[in-house]
Amino acid sequence: MKSVMVCLAHSCTCPGLLLAWCLLLIPPSAKAISVSYKPNIVILFADDLGIGDLGCYGNDTIRTPNIDQLAKEGVKLTQHISAASVCTPSRAAFLTGRYPIRSGMVDSENFLVLHWLGGSGGLPPNETTFAKILQKQGYATGLIGKWHQGVNCEHRNDYCHHPLSHGFDYYYGMPFSLMGDCQITQPPEMDRALQIKLWSYTQMIALAIFTLVVAKLIHLVSISWKVIFLFALFGFLFFISWFSSYGFIRYWNCIVMRNYEITEQPMKVERAAPLMLKEAISFIERNKQGPFLLFFSFLHVHTPLVTTEKFVGKSKYGLYCDNVEEMDWIVGRILDELDNNNLKKSTLIYFTSDNGGHLEAREGNIQRGGWNGIYKGGKAMAGWEGGIRVPGLFRWTGMLPEGKVIDEPTSLMDIFPTLVYLAGGKVPQDRTIDGQDLMPLLRGLVQHSGHEFMFHYCGIYLHAVRWHQMDSGNVWKAHYVTPVFQPEGAGGCYETVFCVCSGKGVKHHNPPLLFELSRDPSEAVPLTPDTEPLFHVVLKRIEKALEEHRSTLTPVPEQMSLSNIVWKPWLQPCCGTFPFCCCDKEKEKDEHF
Ligand SMILES: *[C@@H]1O[C@H](CO)[C@@H](O)[C@H](O)[C@H]1NC(C)=O
Ligand SMILES: *[C@@H]1O[C@H](CO)[C@@H](O)[C@H](O)[C@H]1NC(C)=O
């Protein structure tokens, strides 16, 4: 009966007929499985991990036995695509099942991600995360680790973007993102381009105010002092944002929170991973009667690659590989905790990464970012496969096949409807959901994923479109815009560390660059009307799909606009009295590992 309900929840439009159809489809073994209808969900979410970094995706230097075990005991997706190639928009899409352009978690000015915990942008309160729906369905919901979806809107403690406002009952971790600035010994990572921009805005506004004041004094214009004052205030914001980007980032952005309470400011990065693991284990202990949702959002394998001593040098292939192996070990500890509590059959485990490896992360000649295998490009390169094709592993013992590999295009946005249906909930009907329920595909009940077209955005700009032509099995990809690599032909934006989405840093293509991924997965040789007879037909079909997609978009406020992204002292989460924010509420315990 339970399986019937699962099946119904998945696809029903016409109950009577479908019931019969569902009954036919359910293999006899599935009927006997004693899994509960609401499985526990454990999401293991890596940061900037490349698809080529894992043993189960072909890496033979890094050892990732625990993650490989998930692939062996479950389903491995080989064309699992994130909705953006950088974390803030990719994670927003993951949480909501919608392209980030629908929630406004994108920008038009090449900021790419949220830059300050004290900014006003973030996941809008009217967006619905899968956590919120699972919470309503009776799940205990916990998020441990990185968030990077904003904190406050209007004042210091409104928490409008905080995990606890988005469906999590429990939160422990970094509301921002780990970055070089968080570790005293590392060179700052805060975007130089942003600093320059902030400084030039400061100067421009100062000049404008000066002109206005002079013009008012000699009676050239009639403008009230109030307006000039507001203008000056605005200029002052840019000034302090610029000023704060030198040396204050560690205090402003690198903090740890437990629910609403700040426990470390600035955080001690070395103990973050052991504390997070401890939190995960105690969350499982507290909630093992189920059902629970544990979203474990790793700080691994983002630079500065904070790795405990036990793992430094362990891989013999450098700090990046050490860090991946430490992450794998943490995965193993969490799996042990589940298995030891007899939760193997009642828990769906999902492993993925927010975007591809960061090719430009280097220290001198030493690679500090991930490896995207045969795929071109990486983090912050929008359309190129290396930035968006990430690992996707599912294990649910007894319910999903073991050792199955699926090449169909799937999306990180699919997790939203998949989890909602498993929890017996309903997806919101008042908005477009771009994800598709994955259960029928994972279980082998259908052969094709529901994704015929996928749209690859960079900020608000569409860079590429993928067309999975179901009847032929071809996977076409048309690039309208690509980043300009520098130095030329280098395969990345090494001079600026990140590629951009618009302006001089990109090239527009007309006709678009067309590839067929099943023949040319590395996007090496663009097709032409001479080499591909279907060239114009394919582009025309893609063009039509793009038009249809665009007709479903409605304008929403940009969460990463300049006015939202700029640092606002009155929004800065602060432990103590602003601006003297400092605390350490974690006892110096070293019982980890
Ligand atoms: C394994 O990953 C490392 C680190 O990212 C990379 O340098 C190496 O080339 C990868 N090996 C294979 C065979 O993919
Ligand atoms: C959320 O609110 C914004 C306006 O603030 C609106 O544009 C958007 O459509 C709303 N989103 C949803 C899903 O209702």
| pLDDT one-digit tens code per residue, 315-374 | 989 999 999 999 999 999 999 999 999 999 999 999 999 999 999 999 888 999 999 999
Q: What is the pLDDT of residue 520?
A: 98
Give CA–CA dist 590/101, Å, rounded.
Answer: 43
Tell me how far the alpha carbon of residue 588 lies from the centroid of ligand 1, in angstroms: 36
Report whether residue 126 contacts ligand 2, using a CB cutoff of 6 Å: yes
Find all residues with CB under 8 Å of 289, minimum gap 6, and list them.
none
Confidence of residue 233 (pLDDT cuts 50, 70, 90): confident
Residue environment code for 533-560, b if the CB has 16+ CB neighbours within 10 A, otherwise e: ebbeebbebbeebbeebeeeeeeeebbb
pTM recorded for the entire structure: 0.89
How high does pLDDT run on average in the chain?
A: 91
In angstroms, the CA 465 to CA 548 distance is 13
Q: Can the peptide bond before residue 304 be classed as cis, meaning omega within 30 degrees of 0?
A: yes
Q: Average the pLDDT over each of 71-85, 241-255, 277-291, 504-518 and give the range with the smallest value.
A: 241-255
Residue 187's pLDDT band (cuts 50, 70, 90):
low
What's the confidence (pLDDT) of residue 240? 80
Residue 370 CA: nearest ligand 1 atom is 5
Pocket test for ligand 1, best of 49, 305, 320, 371 (most atoms within 8 A of CB): 371
What percent of the chain shows pLDDT beyond 90?
A: 78
Rounded Cα distance, 538 and 511, in Å: 12
Given pLDDT bands bounded at 50, 70 and 90, which one contains residue 427?
very high
What gap in Å lies between CA 272 and CA 244, rounded to an integer?
24
429 ligand 2 Cβ < 6 A: no
Confidence category of residue 302, pLDDT binned at 50, 70, 90: very high
Which domains are assigned to the chain? 37-179+254-565 (3.40.720.10)
Residue to substitute in 49, 57, 62, 305 for testing ligand 1 pocket (most ligand atoms within 8 angstroms of CB): 62
Rg of the chain taking only CA atoms, in angstroms: 24
Cα separation, 289 vs 166, in Å, equals 23
**What pLDDT score does 397 carry?**
97
CA–CA distance from 528 to each of 456, 468, 531, 540 (Å)? 21, 19, 5, 14
Active-site residue (options: 148, 161, 162, 479): 148
Closest CA to 513 of 522, 521, 504, 525: 525
Active-site annotation holds for 14:
no
Q: What is the pLDDT of residue 364?
A: 86
Residue 32 pLDDT level (bands cut at 50, 70, 90): very low
63-101 confidence digits (pLDDT tens): 999 999 999 999 999 999 999 999 999 999 999 999 999
pLDDT exceeds cutoff 80 at 11: no
pLDDT at 15: 39
Asked whether the predicted pLDDT for residue 593 surpasses 90, the reply is no
148 belongs to the catalytic site: yes
Q: Going by C-beta distance under 8 Å and a sequence separation of 6 or more, which residues neighbour residue 537?
A: none
Tokens 């978009």 found at: 553
CB proximity list for 1: less than 8 A, separation 6 or greater: none
Question: What pLDDT, in 10s, does the model give residues 530-539?
Answer: 999 999 999 9
Give 31 or 174, the one with higher predicted confidence: 174
Q: Which of 7, 22, 56, 87 is catalytic?
A: 87
Question: Which ligand has the minimum distance to the alpha carbon of residue 104?
Answer: 2
For 538-577, what is each residue's pLDDT tens digit?
999 999 999 999 999 999 999 999 899 988 999 999 999 9
Q: How far is the CA of 125 from the centre of ligand 2 (A)?
A: 9
Q: What is the DSSP string of 415-434?
A: HHHHHHHHTT----SSS---
Which amino acid would we find at residue 465?
V
pLDDT at 21: 44
Chain position carrying tokens 């105010």? 209
The sign of the dihedral angle between the CA atoms of 120, 122, 127, 130 is negative
Across the range 490-519, mean pLDDT stands at 95
Query: In this structure, what is the dihedral angle of CA atoms 353, 378, 499, 241, given to the nearest 10 degrees?
Result: 20
Instruction: Identify the band that residue 190 occupies on the pLDDT scale cut at 50, 70 and 90.
Output: low
pLDDT at 18 over 50: no
